Amino acid sequence: MSSSLKHTSTPNAPAAIGPYSQAVVVNGLVYTSGCLPFDSNMKLHTGSIADQTRLALKNLEAVLKASGSSLDKVIKTTVFLKNMDDFKEMNGAYAEVFGDARPARSTVEVARLPADAHFEIEAIGLVN
CATH number, domain with residue 91? 3.30.1330.40
Residue 128 confidence (pLDDT): 84
Alpha carbon of 30 to those of 47, 107, 111: distances in Å?
A: 29, 20, 27
In sequence order, the 6+-apart residues with CB closer than 8 A to the CB of 17 are: 42, 114, 115
Please check whether residue 1 lies inside any domain of the structure.
Answer: no
Angle at 86 between CA 83 and CA 87, to 5 degrees: 105
Q: Where are the alpha helices (DSSP H) in 1-128?
A: 49-66, 87-98
Per-residue confidence (pLDDT) for residue 1, from 0 to 100: 44
pLDDT value for 125: 98
Per-residue pLDDT tens digits for 28-63: 999 999 999 999 899 999 899 999 999 999 999 999
Cβ-in-10-Å burial (0-12, 13-18, 19+) of 118 comes to: buried
Question: Are 89 and 49 contacting, i.e. CB atoms less than 8 angstroms apart?
Answer: yes
Distance between CA atoms of 77 and 124, rounded to whole angstroms?
A: 6
pLDDT at 123 over 50: yes
> What's the number of domains the chain is made of?
1
46 belongs to a structural domain: yes
What does pTM read for this prediction? 0.95
Q: Give a yes or no: residue 79 inside a domain.
A: yes
Residues paired with residue 115 on neighbouring β-strands, in sequence order = none
The pLDDT of 8-22, averaged and rounded, is: 94
Cα(93)–Cα(76) distance, rounded to whole angstroms? 17
Measure the CA–CA gap between 126 and 128, rounded to whole angstroms.
7
pLDDT in tens, 58-111: 999 999 999 999 999 999 999 999 999 999 999 999 999 999 999 999 999 999
Q: How far is Cα of residue 113 from the mean position of the Cα atoms in its chain?
A: 13
pLDDT for res 50: 97
Task: Give the mean pLDDT of 18-24.
Answer: 96
For the segment 19-31, the average pLDDT, to the nearest whole number, is 97
Residue-number span of the structural domain to which 101 is assigned = 6-126
